Chains A and B, each alone.
Chain A
């Protein structure tokens, strides 16, 4: 798992939580705070976070 913080085009701070587990699985006890976004995908969580940010025009 990993967490990334970035800024979108409107200047909003965006927090992205990444997981590399199948189906975007989150381990028990892990949950998202309001406003946090989940990035899923194969490979490392950090890569999923960066990919998610790129697709959503968020600058890390």
Chain B
């Protein structure tokens, strides 16, 4: 089985696999933060989870559980909007806005994983799904890998 990230950027998988834990945590945090900023996710739960990420408190926590609930809530909302789009009662843009916010929240959730490698691979993939900006994510990861 391959990583989800390898379906869009196998080079990033290689860089992540070869990076130290400190570098992975830094790259992952920046990727999640970037996704949140790009999609305009403004939610208290996301802010608290990002603060937890900044404090390097990884693994299960109240903040991580809350952000998981936020991901589920946003996904449910996106699917509802998608149904409305099919009935011409909502726009594709409204669906995409909610879908990408769900992915940004998911990037935070994965970034808080206690396994730094899994956190990086999955959070960067979710950040890509949120932003579609592989070039910027490559840059964020490379900047930090260069610090190794």
Contact A31 B99 (CB under 8 A): no
Which residues on A sit within 8 Å (CB–CB) of B3? 31
Cβ of B70 to closest chain A Cβ, rounded Å? 15
Contact B4 A26 (CB under 8 A): yes
Contact A23 B128 (CB under 8 A): yes
Total chain A interface residues with beta-carbon distance under 8 A: 13
Which residues of chain B in 64-78 are interfacial with respect to chain A, using CB atoms and an 8 Å cutoff? none
Which residues on B sit within 8 Å (CB–CB) of A22? 96, 99-100, 129, 132
Contact B7 A26 (CB under 8 A): yes
Within 8 Å of chain B (Cβ to Cβ): is A12? no
Contact residue range for chain B?
Answer: 10 to 19
A22-B96, A24-B8 known; A31 vs B1 contact (CB < 8 Å): yes
What CA separation (Å) do A30 and B5 show in the bound complex?
Answer: 11
Considering only CB atoms, which chain B residue lies closest to A42 in the complex?
B92
Contact A34 B96 (CB under 8 A): no
Considering only CB atoms, which chain B residue lies closest to A28 in the complex?
B122
Residue among B1, B7, B99, B106 making CB contact with A24, cutoff 8 Å: B7
Within 8 Å of chain B (Cβ to Cβ): is A33? yes
Considering only CB atoms, which chain A residue lies closest to B8 in the complex?
A24
CB<8 Å pairs between A and B, sample of 23: A21-B99, A22-B96, A22-B99, A22-B100, A23-B8, A23-B132, A24-B7, A24-B8, A25-B103, A26-B4, A26-B7, A28-B106, A28-B110, A28-B122, A30-B4, A31-B1, A31-B3, A31-B7, A32-B1, A32-B6, A32-B7, A33-B1, A34-B2
Instruction: Report the 7 A-B pairs with minimum CB-CB distance, sorted nearest first.
Output: A25-B129, A31-B1, A26-B4, A38-B7, A23-B129, A23-B132, A32-B2
